[in-house]
Structure 1
Amino acid sequence: MRITNLLNDFFDLLYPNLCVVCGTNLQRNEQCLCLTCLNEIPKTNYHLQPDNLIEKRFWGKVTIYRGTAFFFFQKGSAFQKLLHSLKYKGEKEIGVVLGKYAAIDLIESADFSSVDVIVPVPLHPKKLKKRGYNQSECIGKGLSEILNAPQDTTTLKRIKENTTQTRKSVFERYENTEGIFELSDKAALADKHILLVDDVLTTGSTLEACIRELSQINGIKISIFTLAVA
C-alpha cells in the first residue's frame, strides 16, 4: 500500500490532475472539478420546479413530461470551459462526471428518478467519426450510473446533417431539422419513460425534432435533460 501511494504521488507530480475550470490541483477524491468550483456551478434546480422556463419553451410545439438543465450557460464564464473541453477537446470524462453530479440532484425528484431509459441526442455518423465520440452519450453514461437506467444509443438515429440554427427564423429552424432523425425500432421504447439528453439547450429545435420522432412510439413519456441552458 505504501509503495502504491508513493507511485501515485510520483505520477501526480509528473502529470498533475487539474480542475478544468480554475486549474488548481485536484485532490484524490475529486474528478475534473475541484470542490470549490463544483459548489459554484450556477444550478437551475428546475428538476424541482414543474412548469419551469425550459418546459415552457416547448409548450405548443411538442409534448414533454418534464424538462430540466443542470446549470445556466453564461457566455465567457469559467463554466463555458467545461462545455468547450467536453465538446471540442476530447475530454469525455467531463461529460460522465457532470452527468453523475446532475443525477445526484435529479434523484431528489420523483419525476426524474422514475426514468426507464436514457436516450442521448445522436450525432450524424460523419460528425461522430470526425469527433470520435458523442458528448451527449458521455453525459448519458454518467446519468445512467446514478439513475440506474440503461442508455439506448441505437433506437434514435440521425440520418441527415443540418446547419447551425442560431440566426434562423422559427420556420427556418423547423425546416432545418425536419426529417433529420429516424427510429430503428419503435417497439424498443414503447410504454417507457425516457430521458432525452443533450449538452446545451439553445434554440431547442434539435430537441424538438427528436421529440417529434420519438412521439410516434406507443405509450412513450418523454422528459428532457441538458447540462446547460442558454
Structure 2
Amino acid sequence: MRDMPDALMLFAAGFGTRMGALTRHRPKPLVEVAGHPLIDHALDLVRGARIARTVANVHYLGDQVVRHLVGTGVAISDESDRILETGGGLRKALPLLGPGPVFTLNTDAVWSGPNVLSALRAAWDPARMGALLALVPADRAIGHGPKGDFTVAPDGRLTRGGDHVYTGAQIIDPAGLADIPDEAFSLNLLWDRLAGEGRLYGMIHQGDWCDVGHPGSIPLAEAMTHV
C-alpha cells in the first residue's frame, strides 16, 4: 500500500442551499466566481499539484456536473440514489481512488498563494498522521463566520474548538472508515477518532482562502482573485 497520496476526492454532491436562487437550477460546484465555475477553481489546484487520479461525487443536479467534467479525466462516484455525506461519500469512492491515503477537496472555496495540495503533500508524514487538515486563522477566513474549528498545538496536533478554520482540503488515511456502520456520515467521526489517538494534524495555509458558501461571498472571492 502506498504511503504518499496520489489520488484526490472532489466533494461535489451537496445541495448548496445557502446559495438560494443561484442553486435552484444548477449545482453549487457550477456557480461561477470570476467567470469560472467553482469546480474549475478546484481542478486548477489538482492539476497544479500533478495528482494522478481524481474522483468527484455527484448527487444534486449531478447530471450537470457529469457533463461539465466530460474530457477532464475525472472519474464519477454516483450518489444519485442517496447523498452519503463526506465520510460515506469517500468510502463509496475508494475503489476508484485506490488504496492508501488520499487528498480530499471541497468545491466551494477559492484560494490564493501556494498550492495548498502541494503544501499538504510536502507536510504529510504517514508515520505520525492519520489526517492532515489545511487550516487558516479565523481572522483570515474570508467569507466565513468568526467561529474557529480547531486549536493547533506546537507540534501540529489538533483539538476541537479554537481559532483556526478548516478550509476543506486535507490528506486522510481512509482505513478507519471500514468499521463505521452508518451508510451516510460525516468525516468528523473519523477526525474525532484520530484526534483521540493523537493522529489528527493541521497545516496553516500560507495564502488567502474564501469560503464561497453564500451569494455574499462571491464578490469577496472575486476581489481576492484579483489582488
TM over 0.5: no
Superposition TM-score, scaled by structure 1 size: 0.28
In our comparison, the structure showing a higher alpha carbon Rg is 1
Q: Counting strand residues as a fraction of each chain, which structure ranks higher?
A: 2
Q: Counting helix residues as a fraction of each chain, which structure ranks higher?
A: 1
Superposition TM-score, scaled by structure 2 size: 0.29
> RCO greater where, 1 or 2, for CA within 8 Å and sep 6 or more?
2
